[in-house]
Amino acid sequence: MKGQYWSIDMVFAIIVFTAALIILISAWSKINSEFSTAYGFGIGSMQAQLQSLQQKITTPGYPSDWLSVVNVSNANTWRNVSIGLGSQNGTISARKAMALMAMSNTNYQATKQDMGVGYDYYITIYSPGNYNISVGRNPLERNATAIQSATIPVILSNGAVGTMRILVWTNTTFGVS
């Protein structure tokens, strides 16, 4: 009976089982590694875009009077400007914010490109009794799967103190839409 236990069938079964186990471990390791890399890179990319958008949106833009150059309902006039909501005295311009809101409502994708954002964005400017401006797409209405946010204190052009909240988000898995 001992000779039958180590027969060719048993050796073949051990080889097949070992090969299947090695393939399974290899595939699991690769998938786990890709998942970690993609997820980490996606969040890192979102954070980088958030920081870039935060820096850009608080500047006056280029030219600083870009409102006089653009037609908010014609995306072709937005090509040679850099959008910023700041003004020369360091405050946030309500006129520029309203123009960006109109631009976003006209052609959201073009504003994403102009601001250098690959993910979706949502900007709110709030000051009690003065402003409540929302620009972009609200992630709560679109089932966001990942959100990066920054909240910064701002002084509005009328002298009121408020907050600007900038969100960069996606509702896709690890991808730039």
Asked whether residue 1 is domain-assigned, the answer is: no
For position 69, what pLDDT does the model report?
A: 87
- Could you tell me if residue 82 is inside a domain? yes
**Low-confidence spans in the chain with pLDDT less than 50:** 1, 37, 175-177
Note the pLDDT tens digit of each residue in 141-173: 988 888 899 999 999 888 889 999 999 998 876
Number of domains in the chain: 1
177 located within any domain: no
- On whether the CB atoms of residues 50 and 77 are closer than 8 A, the answer is no
Does the residue 126 lie in any domain? yes
Domain boundaries, position 75: 11-170
Q: How far is CA 85 from the centre of its chain?
A: 19
Inside any domain, residue 175: no
pLDDT score recorded for residue 114: 87
3-state secondary structure labels for all residues of 64-126 = CCHHHCCCCCCHHHHCCCEECCECCCCCECHHHHHHHHHHHHHCHHHHHHHCCCCCEEEEEEE
